[in-house]
Chain A
Amino acid sequence: MDFHAALALGLPLGIGIAAIGSGIGLGLIGQGAMQAIGRQPEATAKIQLAMIIIAALAEALTIYAFVTMFLLNSRI
């Protein structure tokens, strides 16, 4: 397997693996937030704000893989 084939195979795989990780993370965040809102509906605004921030942090990991893909895309 030469460099280009390895890159062409590895880039989508890398994004997929990163997406699995942040998907699990986002699911856990959403679960926690929904349970918290269900238990305490009057604190919805605060919980949503914290949820969005943490969701953005978790989601950023996939975005990094995505940006890496675009950086290396031209070398395939």
Chain B
Amino acid sequence: MGLEFLARIRRTTFWLAAIGALVTSTYVAPAFAVGLAAGALWSLANLFLIEKLVVGLTGADRGTAPALRRVALGAGGMPPLLGLGALLLARLPIPALMIGFLVPFAVLTLKAASLLLIPTALWRRVTRDPKIAALLVIAAIGLIWAALPARHLGGATGAIAAAEHATSAPAEAGGGHAAGTGGEESGPQKFPNFITVLHRAFPGAAWVTFLHHYEVIFFSLLVALILCVLAWAASRDARLIPRPFQNAVEAMVEALHDFIVGILGPRHGPRFVPFLGSLFLYILFMNLFGLIPFMESPTSNLNVTVALAVTVFLYAQFIGLRELGPVGYVDHLLGSPRDVTGWILAPLMLPIHILGELAKPISLSCRLFGNVFGEDMLLVAFVSLGITTLAFTHLPIGIPLQLPFLFLALLTSTLQALVFTVLSTIYFLLMLPHDDHGHEEAVQHAH
């Protein structure tokens, strides 16, 4: 409790407001999101000033100079903050501001409630067994799911009903839009996955429409779930003398560890093994997932590959900022000028470096997407060729012309996962301080 508790509330509120602003900017309106964020920030600033005031007036060191400075800061900050609040109220949507303003108090209430809840006997009994706790969590998610889609799907069916009933131009425009998005989704014909089959079998059923709309997310989550279950099963009963399955997984993890540490060096390498290793396994499994009948590679959709590449990009920038410091980061972007020529060339190097950084995620995502998607298209083309060859027999059979390309697909899936991981590792390496490379080379020369 105490100030530490307040700091935790501040942190939680900050992240909650950031996520809420992102979600509302996507699904409601940008102005609403700005209002939400501004309200939460204003509320946080307000709490901060009040805290300074209270600590300054009632703390153990009241009367001393630091405490007086704190009181002055708290009292002096209030009027500008109130003025800012009035300005915000005039400019931004008031409901969003109010919601944002109330976020810290909601966090405070929930945190206090959880502090009261955790020591109770019932809670302890529930959380003692992970299975019961997991069941309860699943039940809670199910309840929320049952409560939420009622409204969401009601709106969707309402929209469908409106589109069916209306015969005027707007409805046609809506229909055209729907057909357009449908055409974009299935534009180049892919193999049907089981969600497509379900969609054909139950056209208009709300849950199938939902699945069909988010099928890429569904499949990528499925792959992640499979990986989680595999990792859990391999490490559940770890023994000193491993059984075959644990041995296989351990060998794989060790190979990944050696590979990444070999590139990044023994000092920085081990920290990035979890991220890069799971990136490799995730992409590999997603690429190979499309070769299973009635499944689809999530990576054959640009959205997934862009998400992965943006994650790598942001992580690389974060590493640069943390390892090099803000000054070192800018220095890195300027091309590390150390002499007159370097400083003359620095204005030229800055845009080149920034463009280079921005090109990395684009090339990463387009490469992975293009390869997996192109491989899918190749298989589709040869399957249809095999079917049209035997079309004169009017039998539902075809020549399996795609067989050699299935092996090619196995190869490219693995290779592209490797390439994505290696390039991410190289991008991290470029961001890390270069001091220990000279050492490594010296060691090699010594050999």
- Contact at B188–A63, with CB atoms within 8 Å? no
Chain A 39-76, CB within 8 Å of chain B: the 1/0 string? 00000000001001100110110011011001001100
**Shortest Cβ gap from A67 to chain B (Å):** 5
| A53 in contact with B366 given A63-B371, A70-B373, A74-B187 (CB within 8 Å) | no
Give the number of residue pairs across the A-B interface with Cβ within 8 Å: 39
Contacts of A49 in B (CB 8 A): 263, 422
Q: Contact partner of A52 among B366, B371, B415, CB < 8 A?
A: B415
Q: Contact partner of A53 among B369, B370, B419, CB < 8 A?
A: B419
Contacts of A67 in B (CB 8 A): 366, 369-370
For B, the interface residue count at a CB cutoff of 8 angstroms equals 19
Measured in the bound complex, the distance between the Cα atoms of B371 and A56 in whole Å is: 11
Nearest A residue to B371 via CB reads A63
**Shortest Cβ gap from A16 to chain B (Å):** 14
For A, the interface residue count at a CB cutoff of 8 angstroms equals 14
Measured in the bound complex, the distance between the Cα atoms of B187 and A52 in whole Å is: 32
Interface of B is mostly: helix
Measured in the bound complex, the distance between the Cα atoms of B422 and A60 in whole Å is: 15
Q: Is B363 engaged at the interface, CB distance under 8 Å to the other chain?
A: yes
**Shortest Cβ gap from B182 to chain A (Å):** 13
Measured in the bound complex, the distance between the Cα atoms of B368 and A67 in whole Å is: 11
- Contact at B422–A53, with CB atoms within 8 Å? yes
Contacts of B371 in A (CB 8 A): 63
Measured in the bound complex, the distance between the Cα atoms of B418 and A15 in whole Å is: 25
Contacts of B422 in A (CB 8 A): 49, 52-53, 56
Measured in the bound complex, the distance between the Cα atoms of B139 and A74 in whole Å is: 45
- Contact at B418–A52, with CB atoms within 8 Å? yes
Nearest B residue to A56 via CB reads B419
B residues 422-445 near A (Cβ < 8 Å) are 422-423, 426
Q: Is B242 engaged at the interface, CB distance under 8 Å to the other chain?
A: no
With contacts A52-B422, A57-B363, A70-B373 known, what are 4 further pairs, Cβ within 8 A? A53-B426, A56-B422, A63-B366, A63-B370
Interface residues of B (CB under 8 A from A): 183-184, 187-188, 263, 363, 366-367, 369-371, 373-374, 415, 418-419, 422-423, 426
**Can you report 20 A-B residue pairs in the complex whose CB atoms are below 8 A from each other?**
A49-B263, A52-B415, A52-B419, A52-B422, A53-B423, A56-B423, A57-B363, A60-B366, A60-B367, A63-B366, A63-B370, A63-B371, A64-B366, A66-B374, A67-B366, A67-B369, A67-B370, A70-B188, A70-B373, A74-B187
4 A-B pairs closest in CB distance: A63-B370, A56-B419, A60-B367, A67-B370
